[in-house]
């Protein structure tokens, strides 16, 4: 497989500075402070590259105030780096990249700058890039070390993405990434503005281990959909993965900011060589989730990062970052 699992070493971390005031509203300054704090923590482990609009450069430089972090001016529409960065892969021992189409999740009109960002980044990194005629965001896919790619039907098959039929998508992705299989889950979390990105509900972590979000409220849509997803994953993965371990991670209790209920998940985390960074929601599940992650990654430091204002804008720690693999 050409894709490089996220738990492998990183060359650097890419982050986009929040700029969409329509989404963030009055919390945008708080979201920027949370991202600055997060970026500074990451910079202790790996190089961080922040991209921001020219109009935000001085403020970004002042808030970050870290000589280890490089800040690049470019044109942005939003802050979801995971979805607009290139998809990196290994080809004949070298790092290359694909640029998939980004259309603002089929619902936001301002996306033209973000749709050009992957080519800008690959040029800056001096990496070969190929444009792919398929609408796909980085948060819509995840992958393991066994040649399996995971995604949700509610995103890639959504009419608002204007993608071809399922079998054509499968053939294209299998060829592009040299996959063994594609495992489709029906949907993501209820209310997810992306139509259900998989990085809010499921994540491979290596050594035949996989994390899946779990709802404890049997009356909810999420309880039913995540139960179904768990059954599908067990059925599909048990055919090819020995010593399979699917570990359930509870969803946080309802978190509300300015009368808005966050679509929140601890699965939306970021990992470096030395540290696992998990969203912190200041709810009762925080301590339980910390203990689970500590037991799973006993060789790494576990850091819980305040990110509720980032989450208010529509995503979390995984959504605002993209790791550049180190070969």
Q: What is the CATH number of the domain that holds 202?
A: 3.75.10.10
Q: pLDDT of 125-156, one tens digit each? A: 999 999 999 999 999 999 999 999 999 999 99
Examine residue 1 and state whether it is found in any structural domain, yes or no.
Answer: no
Q: For residue 72, tell me if it sits in a domain.
A: yes
pLDDT of residue 246: 98
Residue 2 lies in a domain: no
Q: What is the pTM of this model?
A: 0.97
- Supply φ then ψ for residue 56, to 5 degrees: -105, 0
As a dihedral over the C-alpha atoms of residue 158, residue 223, residue 83, residue 194, rounded to 10 degrees, the angle is 50
What is the spatial distance between Cα 292 and Cα 19, in angstroms, rounded to a whole number?
Answer: 34
Beta-carbon contacts of residue 243 (< 8 Å; ≥ 6 apart): 208
pLDDT tens track for 223-275: 999 999 999 999 999 999 999 999 999 999 999 998 999 999 999 999 999 99
Residue 230 lies in a domain: yes
pLDDT at 33: 98
* Residue 5 within any structural domain of the chain: no
Whether residue 234 is contained in a domain is answered as: yes
The predicted structure's pLDDT at residue 119: 98
Whole-number pLDDT of residue 302? 98
Phi–psi pair at 72, nearest 5 degrees: -115, 130
Q: How confident is the model at residue 99 (pLDDT cuts 50, 70, 90)?
A: very high
Domain range enclosing 271:
10-325
Q: How many domains does the chain have?
A: 1
* Residue 4 placed within a domain: no
Tens digits of residue pLDDT in 28-61: 999 999 999 999 999 999 999 999 999 999 999 9
Please write the tens of the pLDDT for every residue from 309-327.
Answer: 999 999 999 999 999 999 9
Asked if residue 3 is part of any domain, the answer here is no
| Per-residue model confidence (pLDDT) at position 263 | 97
């Amino acid at each position: 497989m050409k894709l490089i699992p996220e738990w492998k070493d990183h060359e650097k971390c890419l982050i986009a500075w929040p700029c969409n005031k329509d989404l963030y509203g009055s919390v945008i300054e708080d979201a920027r402070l949370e991202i600055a704090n997060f970026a500074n923590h990451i910079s202790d482990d790996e190089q961080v590259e922040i991209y921001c609009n020219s109009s935000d450069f001085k403020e970004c430089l002042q808030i970050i105030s870290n000589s280890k972090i490089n800040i690049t001016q470019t044109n942005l529409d939003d802050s979801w780096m995971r979805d607009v960065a290139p998809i990196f892969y290994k080809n004949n021992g070298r790092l290359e990249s694909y640029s998939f189409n980004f259309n603002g999740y089929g619902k936001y009109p301002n996306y033209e700058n973000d749709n050009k960002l992957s080519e800008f980044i690959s040029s800056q990194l001096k990496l070969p890039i190929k444009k792919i005629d398929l609408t796909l965001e980085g948060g819509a896919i995840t992958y393991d070390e066994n040649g399996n790619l995971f995604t949700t039907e509610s995103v890639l098959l959504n009419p608002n993405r204007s993608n071809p039929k399922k079998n054509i998508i499968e053939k294209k992705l299998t060829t592009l990434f040299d996959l063994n299989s594609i495992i489709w889950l029906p949907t993501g979390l209820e209310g997810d503005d992306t139509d259900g990105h998989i990085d809010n509900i499921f994540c491979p972590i290596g050594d035949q281990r996989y994390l899946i979000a779990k709802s404890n409220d049997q009356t909810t849509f999420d309880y039913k959909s995540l139960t179904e997803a768990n059954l599908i994953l067990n059925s599909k993965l048990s055919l090819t993965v020995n010593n399979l371990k699917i570990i359930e991670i509870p969803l946080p209790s309802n978190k509300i900011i300015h009368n808005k209920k966050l679509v929140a998940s601890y699965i939306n985390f970021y990992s470096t060589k030395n540290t696992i960074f998990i969203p912190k929601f200041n709810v009762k599940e925080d301590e339980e989730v910390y203990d689970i992650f500590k037991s799973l990654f006993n060789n790494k430091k576990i850091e819980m990062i305040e990110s509720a204002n980032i989450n208010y804008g529509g995503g979390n720690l995984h959504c605002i970052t993209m790791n550049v693999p180190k070969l």
